Structure 1
């Protein structure tokens, strides 16, 4: 029973992170934090961009929660694990697959190609106000 509860916490955290990420991407990253996020919408010069600071922030929060709950493996540990799993999915989907930071991910899968197209639609705009498609794993468009 405890295992099911912990798996449930991880799954709820994953779903919550997708919703949270969509909201902060739309309202903070394309709002008051645009001065950081705009580096992601510009040509990258080098391996990192200022926008990567957000990933470091979320990783720090996840690790802190895991550290707080590590002695008893309480809910904080599993929330941190869920955030970490979302971060891993983000890295694979966003950095590796969508932005090709590593040239090794090719597919003909309709879902994955739809996610890639949605992200390209998002990046068509170099302006903070006219972007659309803010999610990572789900898109409002049918491709």
Structure 2
């Protein structure tokens, strides 16, 4: 029974990360942290961009939670694992599939194409505003069709 609770914590953390990422993206990254995030809306001159600091920050938080939670196998381990899994999902969808940091991932899947179109809508502007579609895994139905 305990394993079901742990799986639930991981899944809720992944869902929570999507919601939190949407809010942070809209209100912080396109707000007071634009000076960092704008590097993601500009042409990249190399493999890394300053915006990658956000991924590194979440990785550190995830690793710390897993470290402190692994001693007793408590909720922090499972939250850290959920954050880490969301990071892996983010890397695959956003960096690999949408932005082609690696050229090997192509798909005609309808859901993946909607995500790609929504993200391209987000990148229409290289400015802080106007902007739309701040999520990664969930896109507005009216915009993605």
Q: Do the structures match in fold with TM over 0.5?
A: yes
Quote the offset at 1:142 in angstroms: 3.8
Three-state SS of the structure 1 residue aligned to 2:87 is helix
Aligned to 2:40: 40
Aligned to 1:134: 134
Structure 1 residues not aligned, in runs of 5+? none
Q: How many equivalent pairs are there?
A: 143
Quote the offset at 1:127 in angstroms: 1.0
Residue 124 of structure 2 corresponds to residue 124 of structure 1: yes
TM-score with structure 2 setting the length:
0.97
Quote the offset at 1:124 in angstroms: 0.2
Q: Which runs of 4+ in 1 moved over 3 A?
A: none
Change (3 A) 1:84 1:75: same
**Aligned Cα root-mean-square deviation (Å):** 0.6
Deviations 1:97-126 (A, max 9, x none): 000000011111110000000000000011
TM-score with structure 1 setting the length:
0.99
Structure 2 residues not aligned, in runs of 5+? none
